Amino acid sequence: MRILPFLSVPLLAILVSGCATTGKSTLLGSGIGAGVGAGVGAIANGGPSGRNRIRNVFIGATAGSLLGAGAGYLAQELIEKREQEAIEKGKKEGQKRTTSYGGEPGQPTLIPPRVEARYVEDQVRGNTFVPAHFEYQIVEPARWTR
């Protein structure tokens, strides 16, 4: 039963980290690192008669907590950076390119509609929250040409 406290901290941290923010990711990493570090410190050689085992647990928990907090922070920053890059890429590629669809010579060519995309930021309309999204508007309808 001595292992239960070491497992409960990381498991609890994993369960309460549903929606991760930078703070939550840092705390989760810190908690998991502390649990792992304390476990490694408990396993480490405690010296004669295990006199230094508690010291090893504290050192392991502290070192693991610091390393885990740093790893959690860096991981969340990387995720946020990739999400922001994806949003920017979507904004740039939001407008469709005009291409024509034509058949054989002598047949009309179909020019697809021209569509403009507009990125709309988060909004609050009355009591309703509307998350950021794209709105697409047909500027010119499809048409046939010869």
Domain span at 103: 94-145
Please, which contacts does 60-65 make with residues 24 or more away whose CB atoms are closer than 8 Å? 61/34, 61/35, 61/37, 62/34, 62/37, 63/33, 63/37, 64/32, 64/33, 64/34, 64/35, 64/36, 64/37, 64/38, 64/40, 65/30, 65/31, 65/33, 65/34, 65/37
The answer to whether residues 106 and 79 belong to one domain is no
Residue 116 has pLDDT above 80, yes or no: yes
C-alpha count within 13 angstroms, C-beta hemisphere, residue 106: 0
State whether 109 and 138 are in the same domain: yes
Rounded to an integer, what is the distance from CA 115 to the centroid of its chain? 30
Residues 83, 98 within the same domain? no
* Residues 64 and 34: beta-carbon distance below 8 Å: yes
The count of structural domains within the chain is: 2
Work out the pLDDT band at 90, boundaries 50, 70, 90: confident
Residue 27 has pLDDT above 50, yes or no: yes
Per-residue tokens: 17: 């980290």
**Within this chain, do residues 49 and 81 fall inside the same structural domain, yes or no?**
yes
Given a contact cutoff of 8 angstroms between Cβ atoms, the answer to whether 35 and 20 are in contact is no
Spatial separation of the C-alpha atoms in residues 109 and 101, rounded to whole Å: 6
Question: Are residues 101 and 123 part of one domain?
Answer: yes
* 56-60 average pLDDT score: 90
CB 25 within 8 A of CB 75: yes
**What number is the average pLDDT over the span 50-70?**
89
Higher pLDDT, 49 or 57: 57
127 pLDDT exceeds 90? yes
- Residue 13 has a pLDDT of 52
